[in-house]
């Protein structure tokens, strides 16, 4: 190769290097979305700054990105809510029936029709709803989103959890997808779907946010608080996130003069717990000791307190608790090192155990702490 040709080749390589560096220039640009730094690097191409579609999908909560083999679809928040409702609605049913004559609310001067909402969780006709929707209901009828009606029968019920399972003889249904309670956070957008006020308003949807977690709401277990509007008839319907996953079953609304947007849903982990027990045992199989506990005043009002624990107020005669060194006015501080400061804490912790399981109770008596190993019994009907 001649010297002239060598010089031309070197010049061509240098030009190519400069061209490449101008097209894919290194960048130290920092990108923040809503104050949070995006880890993916910003690329500069022909003087313009670019970031990947994948990074957008990960870092922008109000859009979703669907990538096909030949297309990319970006949906805004408005479109996202519409898609969530369309996805979940086929899994939401209306429930209607006549009030039992034995019910306290039975009134001979009315038609005594009552209704609520349910969520299909198995394609062969299993539906979860509130216990208070169906406990006094005769001739239960389920109406699907396509307006077809089917007779239903009660399979299992637990009034403490306010959950029940009913069954229709229909296959090929679209079951809802349950979410993960660990991914639920205050401020997240949610949609409630149900049958508010009139059976003609089946599958009505309202939108709000998660307002709070671990609320008591006069129940025995924890609730999710939201401001997604619910009314009479919404009970038993789903509270769903923006992925179209059920994160709760709507159960309670606080009403009163000047009260707005205080709605409560049974969290999805409690729903899964109930369904698991209903399927295995036909009921909720709770551990039992026969102890009556009392919250402290500070716990009842949700105030911080140094005096932790539950006070033993009574021990039932013949109960398993009589076998152990537990006396009146003892304080239960923790169960297997998990602190319990309220009766709701205790009830939630009991979801981990079955009759016959063992646990260690930490007891406070006369300012001294000690441990007692106990074995849970089962309450006889």
Euclidean distance between CA atoms 158 and 162, whole angstroms: 6
Catalytic residue among 136, 145, 162, 265: 162
Euclidean distance between CA atoms 99 and 102, whole angstroms: 8
Catalytic residue among 132, 226, 227, 295: 132
Residue given tokens 């034995």 in the structure block: 102
Active site residue 314: no
Helix (H) or strand (E) run with residue 271 in it = helix 268-281
Contact between 124 and 163 (Cβ < 8 Å): no
Active site residue 162: yes
Q: Which residues are CB-contacts of 88 (< 8 A; sequence separation ≥ 6)? A: 176, 191, 193, 238, 240, 244, 246
- The phi and psi torsions of 323 (rounded to 5 degrees) equal -80, -10
- At CA 51, angle to CA 46 and CA 56, rounded to 5? 155
Catalytic residue among 145, 211, 226, 235: 235
| Maximum separation of any 2 CA atoms in the chain, in Å | 112
Active site residue 319: no
Beta pairing class for 245-253 and 177-178: parallel
* HSE-CB for 8 with a 13 A CA cutoff: 5
Residues classed as catalytic: 132, 162, 235
């Amino acid at each position: 190769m001649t010297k002239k040709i060598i010089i031309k080749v070197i010049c061509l390589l240098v030009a190519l290097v400069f061209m490449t560096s101008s097209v894919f220039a290194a960048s130290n640009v920092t990108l923040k979305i809503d104050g949070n730094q995006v880890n993916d690097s910003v690329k500069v191409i022909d003087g313009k700054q670019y970031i990947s579609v994948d990074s957008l999908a990960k870092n922008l909560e109000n859009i979703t990105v669907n990538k096909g083999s030949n297309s990319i679809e970006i949906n805004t928040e408005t479109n996202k809510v519409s898609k969530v409702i369309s996805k979940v609605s086929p899994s939401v049913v209306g429930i209607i029936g006549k009030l039992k004559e034995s019910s306290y609310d039975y009134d001979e001067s009315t038609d005594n029709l009552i209704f609520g909402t349910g969520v299909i969780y198995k394609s062969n006709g299993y539906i979860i709803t509130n216990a208070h929707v169906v406990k006094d209901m005769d001739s239960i009828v389920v109406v699907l989103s396509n307006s077809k009606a089917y007779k239903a029968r009660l399979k299992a019920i637990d009034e403490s959890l306010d959950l029940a399972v009913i069954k229709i003889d229909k296959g090929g249904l679209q079951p809802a997808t349950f979410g993960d309670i660990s991914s639920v956070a205050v401020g997240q957008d949610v949609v409630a779907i149900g049958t508010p006020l009139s059976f003609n308003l089946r599958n009505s949807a309202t939108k709000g946010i998660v307002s709070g977690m671990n609320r008591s709401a006069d129940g025995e277990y924890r609730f999710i608080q939201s401001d997604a509007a619910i009314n009479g008839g919404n009970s038993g319907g789903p509270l769903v996130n923006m992925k179209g996953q059920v994160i709760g079953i709507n159960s309670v609304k606080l009403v009163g003069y000047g009260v707005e947007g205080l709605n409560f849903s049974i969290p999805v982990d409690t729903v899964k717990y109930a369904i698991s027990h209903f399927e295995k045992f036909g009921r909720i199989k709770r551990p039992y000791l026969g102890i009556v506990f009392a919250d402290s005043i500070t716990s009842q009002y949700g105030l911080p307190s140094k005096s932790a624990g539950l006070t033993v107020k009574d021990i039932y005669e013949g109960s398993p608790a009589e076998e152990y060194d537990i006396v009146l006015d003892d304080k239960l501080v923790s169960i297997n090192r998990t602190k319990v400061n309220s009766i709701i804490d205790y009830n939630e912790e009991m979801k981990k155990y079955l009759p016959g399981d063992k646990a260690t109770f930490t007891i406070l008596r006369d300012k001294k702490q000690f441990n007692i190993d106990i074995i849970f019994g089962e309450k006889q009907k």
